[in-house]
């Protein structure tokens, strides 16, 4: 008993209550093997006097130990360490409150190393940012979303949405999604054909884990979206790169690969390809579907910003003309509302949706039920449609503003093609201007802008093009950003 009294101490500067410090200290000595099963603990008055605290503090500590089954209480005998605890060999004693913290490395080995690229502009705090193409979160319909949450709070049936729901996602949302996709994309699907995910990234991960095995071949565009490439490689796939030109992914290169290797999957962004912003032509879309049927590979169609078109109607998705079940269509509302509102979707044949749903259950059980129900209401009552009209008008104006400013201020330094939709322009520096050097100088001047280093699979590829986002900048911000960018280019030359 004298031993435990001398070991325990209380630090009144700590935010942890005194009784918990005592309880945690005793637990630590039990775990270390210093206090053996069946060992007697000091009477509350004795320990309170030793620690110079009120007896109620020790009583509370013992009550906590008893509630956690660390001790046993015997009337007229005292308090003892529980006999059913394992007997632990004593280790060197650490003074309680003098913790070494969490171990720096695991005791067990880790064979995998997850290497992930971050294809986003790394902003310095306080800098103005020209990002790679994000919506303006300042116009996000947050009030409408909050309104739907408030409505649910008043409903008598709200508690059911606080319990577990369907792994595939809210049935109401999937029904509204089916209607929305039919009206906007020509997809004739039902709720059973849709899986709700947390953004496109989860949909890509689920697809890769269901379909890919070690050394399976996946065709991707180069330049391309490193966030997808990383997912496929993490699943064990071998990437085959094909060039992307003004008409999108090169189908001759795709077929050449198929003739030599067994291709398991092809990943394509048909609208506003990341990073080049090009759109896959109708001719190439039809040929891609024919190749998928001929060589029996799956197509992941990532249509992350289909809803944002400014000059012409979009070409219908590959999935709308897929009569053989080759296409897994993924999209998101993260760009419609805000990146932090994680609502994505996957549309595919029912047998694939079933497997992806079961895998999703293992990862995350289900999505956020209330958020999904709120989103369903926003679709049903037309709020999303109205917001899209407003956002398209604003982003169209900002696209025109950016292109006009670049023509006026940067025409001798850069070339670009006006994008027909999306959130960014693909801009190429002239005369071997170093994109990385411009990015570094601009950062020092208060502007974060891409260096283009993450666009190509080969990290050593000398890239002279960057994505320049316009959607998230208002007029004043855009003018300031272009002014700094121009000065950075002139200093870099």
pLDDT at residue 460 tops 70: yes
Determine, yes or no, domain membership for 113: no
Domain of residue 52: give its range: 2-81
> What was the pLDDT predicted at 285?
93
> What was the pLDDT predicted at 360?
92
Across residues 219-226, what is the average pLDDT?
A: 95
350-408 per-position pLDDT tens digit: 999 999 999 999 988 777 888 898 899 999 999 999 999 999 999 999 999 999 999 99
CATH number at residue 405: 3.90.1150.10
CA distance 399 to 286: 30
357 & 391 share domain = no
CA distance 460 to 466: 15
345 & 414 share domain = no
224 & 294 share domain = yes
pLDDT at residue 75 tops 80: yes
**Angle at 234 (CA atoms; ends 229, 239), nearest 5 degrees:** 45
What confidence tier does 123 reach under pLDDT thresholds 50, 70, 90? low
Determine, yes or no, domain membership for 395: yes
147 & 69 share domain = no
Q: What's the start-to-end Cα distance of the chain, in Å?
A: 78
Domains of the chain: total: 3
Cβ-Cβ contacts under 8 Å for 356 (sequence gap 6 or more): 195, 206, 207, 210, 346, 348
> What was the pLDDT predicted at 1?
46
CA distance 105 to 26: 26
Across residues 249-263, what is the average pLDDT?
A: 97
Preceding omega of 330 cis (within 30 degrees of 0): no
| Helix orientation angle between 44-51 and 55-67, rounded to the nearest 10 degrees | 120
Average pLDDT, the chain: 88
305 & 202 share domain = yes
Across residues 321-334, what is the average pLDDT?
A: 91
Domain boundary among the residues 363, 381, 399 is at 381
> What was the pLDDT predicted at 260?
97
Domain boundary among the residues 335, 356, 381 is at 381
What confidence tier does 142 reach under pLDDT thresholds 50, 70, 90? confident
Decide which of 107 and 139 is more confident.
139
Burial grade of 105 (CB within 10 A; 0-12, 13-18, 19 or more): exposed
Across residues 71-91, what is the average pLDDT?
A: 81
63 & 187 share domain = no
What confidence tier does 166 reach under pLDDT thresholds 50, 70, 90? confident
Decide which of 439 and 31 is more confident.
439
Determine, yes or no, domain membership for 119: no
> What was the pLDDT predicted at 351?
93
Q: How far is CA 230 from CA 213, 235, 360, 466, in A?
A: 15, 9, 19, 20
> What was the pLDDT predicted at 122?
64
Domain boundary among the residues 12, 47, 81 is at 81
Determine, yes or no, domain membership for 226: yes
146 & 65 share domain = no
> What was the pLDDT predicted at 117?
62
Least confident of 35-44, 312-321, 346-355: 312-321
> What was the pLDDT predicted at 87?
66
Determine, yes or no, domain membership for 184: yes
CATH number at residue 62: 1.10.10.10
What confidence tier does 205 reach under pLDDT thresholds 50, 70, 90? very high
pLDDT at residue 252 tops 80: yes
357 & 262 share domain = yes
Q: Do 37 and 72 touch, CB atoms closer than 8 A?
A: no
357 & 421 share domain = no
Least confident of 80-94, 237-251, 357-371, 372-386: 80-94
237 & 192 share domain = yes
Across residues 232-252, what is the average pLDDT?
A: 96
Decide which of 397 and 148 is more confident.
397
364 & 417 share domain = no
Least confident of 160-169, 175-184, 419-428, 441-450: 160-169
343 & 410 share domain = no
Determine, yes or no, domain membership for 118: no
């Amino acid at each position: 008993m004298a031993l435990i009294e001398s070991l325990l101490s209380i630090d009144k500067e700590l935010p942890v209550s005194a009784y918990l410090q005592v309880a945690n200290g005793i637990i630590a000595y039990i775990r270390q093997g210093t206090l053996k099963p069946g060992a007697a603990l000091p009477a509350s008055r004795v320990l309170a006097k030793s620690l110079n605290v009120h007896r109620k503090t020790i009583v509370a500590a013992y009550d906590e130990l008893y509630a956690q089954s660390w001790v046993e209480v015997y009337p007229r005998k005292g308090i003892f360490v529980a006999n059913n605890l394992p007997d632990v060999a004593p280790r060197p004693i650490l003074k309680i409150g003098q913790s070494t913290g969490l171990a720096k490395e695991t005791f067990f080995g880790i064979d995998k190393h997850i290497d992930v690229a971050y294809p986003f502009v790394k902003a310095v705090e306080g800098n103005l940012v020209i990002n790679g193409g994000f919506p303006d979160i300042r116009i996000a319909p947050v009030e409408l979303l909050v309104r739907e949450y408030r409505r649910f709070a008043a409903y008598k049936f709200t508690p059911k949405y606080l319990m577990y729901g369907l792994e595939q996602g809210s049935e109401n949302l999937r029904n509204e999604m089916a209607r929305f996709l039919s009206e906007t994309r020509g997809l004739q699907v039902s709720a059973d054909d849709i899986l709700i995910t947390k953004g496109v990234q989860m949909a890509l991960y689920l697809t890769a884990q269901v379909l890919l095995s070690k050394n399976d071949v996946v065709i991707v565009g180069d330049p391309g979206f490193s966030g997808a490439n990383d997912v496929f490689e993490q699943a064990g796939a071998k990437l085959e790169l094909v060039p992307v030109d003004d008409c999108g992914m090169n189908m001759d290169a795709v077929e050449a690969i198929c003739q030599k290797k067994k291709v398991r999957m092809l990943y394509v962004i048909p609208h506003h390809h990341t990073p080049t912003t090009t759109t896959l032509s109708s001719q190439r879309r039809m040929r891609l579907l024919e190749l998928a049927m001929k060589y029996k590979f799956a197509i992941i169609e990532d249509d992350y910003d289909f809803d944002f078109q400014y000059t012409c109607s979009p070409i219908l998705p590959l999935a709308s003309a897929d009569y053989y079940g080759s296409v897994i269509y993924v999209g998101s509302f993260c760009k419609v509302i805000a990146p932090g509102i994680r609502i994505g979707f996957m549309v595919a044949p029912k047998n694939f949706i079933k497997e992806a749903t079961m895998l999703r259950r293992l990862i995350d059980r289900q999505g956020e039920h209330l958020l999904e129900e709120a989103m369903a209401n926003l679709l049903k009552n037309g709020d999303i449609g109205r917001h899209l009209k407003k956002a398209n008008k604003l982003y169209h104006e900002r696209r025109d503003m950016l292109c006009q400013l670049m023509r006026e201020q940067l025409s001798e330094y850069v070339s670009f093609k006006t994008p027909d939709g999306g959130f960014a322009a693909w801009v190429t520096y002239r005369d071997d201007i170093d994109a990385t050097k411009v990015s570094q100088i601009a950062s020092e001047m208060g502007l974060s802008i891409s260096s283009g280093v993450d666009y190509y699979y080969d990290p050593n590829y000398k890239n002279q093009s960057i994505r320049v986002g316009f959607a998230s900048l208002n007029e004043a911000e855009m003018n300031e950003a272009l002014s700094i960018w121009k000065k950075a280019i002139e200093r870099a030359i």
